[in-house]
Amino acid sequence: MTDLSCKNLSMTFTNPANGAMVEALKDINFTLKKGELLSVLGPSGCGKTTLLNMIAGFLNPTSGQLSLGDKQIEGPGVERGMVFQQGALFEWLPVSKNVDFGLRMKNLTPADSEKLVEKWLDIVGLTGFGDTPTYQLSGGMQQRVALARCLVNDPELILMDEPLGALDALTREKMQSLILELWKETGKTIIIITHSVEEALLLGERLFVMAPRPGRIHKEYNLPFAERGLKESLRDIKQQSDFGSVREEILTMIWDMEEEIMGNV
């Protein structure tokens, strides 16, 4: 089993300006089973991106254990793919060269990688865009390329850092459906960080609401909407009464946290 397990994870930054210690994360504990879809929500400064960067291996925890399966996480790796908010595409390469970047780094033969690239471009809905320069793509298409680039490496865990944050409402909804489809088809473990409560509810099989100072998991939910989203239209789900009540509950929770922060300042 390649579960992601996180034990007593803490992260402390030193503020370079005054030398004060900031507890970005404190005593995070959770286990994510293979194939689970987790969304993480929280006010700004609650450490969600720090958590994601630690899982990706870009940051080392101050204390605690992080492991994927039986392997300790020490630095970035191919088994943990990452999708960034702005895509972080290589604009000097066309779409197909962006997608097969990871394969080329592994020195896969061009014939093999070409097949894989075509397959994944099909899946994310970019058939025939292989030779297009990435700077000519719209924001939504760029995120599809980023998804394909990540998936073509066949990672065990996919980390998404506000992947849909910069998109317009309509594109966003389409991409949310795409992510759900990909989750179902590939059975990958996915962690999505988002600012949008609706998105977190729609995409999260599990949902962590995090709280700041120190960064911690405030409340955990197990939600039915992602399963539902595979069959029903996302817009219909948003109209359902249980969706509405959870949304209101979380919104109030986050609102109170924000109030508290403002009060402290």
Partner 1 sequence: MSEFLSTHRADVAALLIIILTGLFVWSIYYGLRRTRKLDSEQVFGDPERTLGGWFWAVCGVSSLLLVWFYFSWGTARAFFPSAANEMCQVAKIDEALSPITAKLPYGDRYYKSTELLVRNGQQLAALEAQMPAGVYSSAEQKKLFSILDRNQQLLTIYSDSAQQSPSTGADLDAIHLRLQGLSEAIDAGYAGLMPTAEALAQPRWGVTDSEIPMLPLTPRGVLFDNVAEQSKEIAQDFVKVRNLPEAAKIIISGVKSDITSLKEADKNYSGSEADLASRKTYLKAVERIFKRLDDGAIFPAAAMMQINLDILQIQDSVKSQTKGLRLVDALFLPGEGVVKSRTLCVEQGSSRWLPKPTDVVAKFARLANPNLEDGGGYKGTVLFWWKWLEIADVIAFLIPDGVVDMLPGDYGIHNDNGEFVKTYKDHLLAVAQGDVYLGVVPMLDGHIWDSVFRVIVAMGFGIALGVPLGIYMGVSRFFKSFFDPLIELYRPVPPLAWAPLILTIFGIQDDGKIFLLFMVAFAIMVISARTGASGTQLSKIRASHSLGATNKQIIRYVILPNALPEILTGIRISIGVCWGTLVAAEMLAGTTGIGFIENVARTVSDYELIWVTILIMGLLGLLFDIAMRFTISVLIPWRGKG
Residues that bind partner 1 (CB under 8 A): 56-58, 75-78, 80-82, 84-86, 88, 90-93, 101-102, 104-106, 133-136, 146, 149-150, 153
Shortest Å distance, C-beta 160 to partner 1 = 12
| C-beta of 149 vs 172, nearer to partner 1 | 149
Shortest Å distance, C-beta 261 to partner 1 = 26
| C-beta of 56 vs 66, nearer to partner 1 | 56
How far CA 217 is from CA of 16, 18, 51, in Å, comes to 26, 27, 11
50 CB-contact burial (10 Å; exposed 0-12 / middle 13-18 / buried 19+): buried
Separation of alpha carbons 131 and 183, rounded Å: 27
Q: Which two tokens stand for residue 161?
A: 């850092």
| C-beta of 76 vs 110, nearer to partner 1 | 76
User: Is the alpha carbon torsion for 200, 31, 28, 252 positive or negative?
Assistant: positive
| C-beta of 79 vs 118, nearer to partner 1 | 79
Residue pair 117/102 in contact (Cβ under 8 Å)? The answer is no
How far CA 197 is from CA of 48, 119, 182, 246, 248, in Å, comes to 14, 33, 21, 10, 9
Tokens 């630690």, residue? Answer: 54
Closest to 24 in 3D by CA, of 36, 37, 10, 35: 10
Q: Which two tokens stand for residue 76?
A: 């970035």
Shortest Å distance, C-beta 78 to partner 1 = 4
| C-beta of 102 vs 212, nearer to partner 1 | 102
Shortest Å distance, C-beta 103 to partner 1 = 9
Shortest Å distance, C-beta 153 to partner 1 = 6
| C-beta of 92 vs 255, nearer to partner 1 | 92
Shortest Å distance, C-beta 92 to partner 1 = 4
